[in-house]
Amino acid sequence: MSFITQNVRVKINRSAEDVWNYVSNSKRWTASTKENKGLKIKNKQEAIVQGAKFKQQENVGRVSTSVDGKFMSVVKPKLVAWKGMATYELFNGIIRIKLPEGGIFLLENEDNGTAFSHTVYVDFEDSLKGKLLYWYFKNVVKLDKALHRHNFQEFSYFQKKLGNSISASGA
C-alpha cells in the first residue's frame, strides 16, 4: 500500500474546551474555506460523537471531492479519529475515483493555549492500478500540497475567529 499523508498544526491562545466548542460546529467547517461545500453529520444533534456518520463535500485543489465517513473515536476535548471513502471527480466528473481516507484531529494543552492539529491520509491499494493512481495523485494532482493548503486555510480561519493566534505550521 502507498499513502499520501499531510499534517497541519496551529497553536491557539485558548483552552482545548474553547477550541473544541468552536470547531465542533459543522457550519463553521463549511465556512472555514470557500472550497468547503458542506459538512453534514448524520445524527439528530449534528454532533461529533463516536460512531456518527458524516458527508463532506469540498474541493481540494482543482478536484471535487466527496467523503462518506464515520467518526471512529471521539474523546472530548482531545481527539477525533475518522475514516471514510472519498470520491475524487477528475476532468469535471468524467472520471470518479474512490479512495479510502482517514485522519486524526488532536487538541493538546500547551503553555498559553492549545495545539490543534489534523493528520490526514489517503490510501492507495497495492496493485498496478493503485500504483498508477498514487503516481497520478502525487505528481499531477499534487494531492499532498493541495491537502496541506486546504487544511491550512481551515485552520487559519479557526485561528482568526478564536483570536490571539500564536503560531502556525505544517508539513
Q: What is the pTM of this model?
A: 0.90
Q: Look up the CATH superfamily of 2-170.
A: START domain (3.30.530.20)
8-62 tens-digit pLDDT: 999 998 999 999 999 998 888 888 889 989 899 998 888 999 999 999 999 998 8
Q: 112 in helix, strand or coil?
A: coil
Grid coordinates belonging to 82: 475518522
What kind and span of H or E run contains 166?
strand 165-170
Q: Average pLDDT, stretch 118-126? A: 96
* Domain edges within the chain: 2-170
What pLDDT digit, counting tens, does each position of 47-103 carry?
999 999 999 999 998 899 999 999 999 999 999 999 999 999 999 899 999 999 999
Distance between CA atoms of 27 and 99, rounded to whole angstroms? Answer: 25
107 and 20 in contact (C-beta within 8 Å)? yes
CA angle 64, 47, 44 (to 5 degrees): 100
CB atoms within 10 A of CB 86: 21
- Residue among 91, 92, 74 nearest 83 (CA): 74
Amino acid at 142: K
Sheet with 95-110: list strands edge to edge. 36-41, 53-60, 63-75, 79-90, 95-110, 113-124, 2-12, 165-170
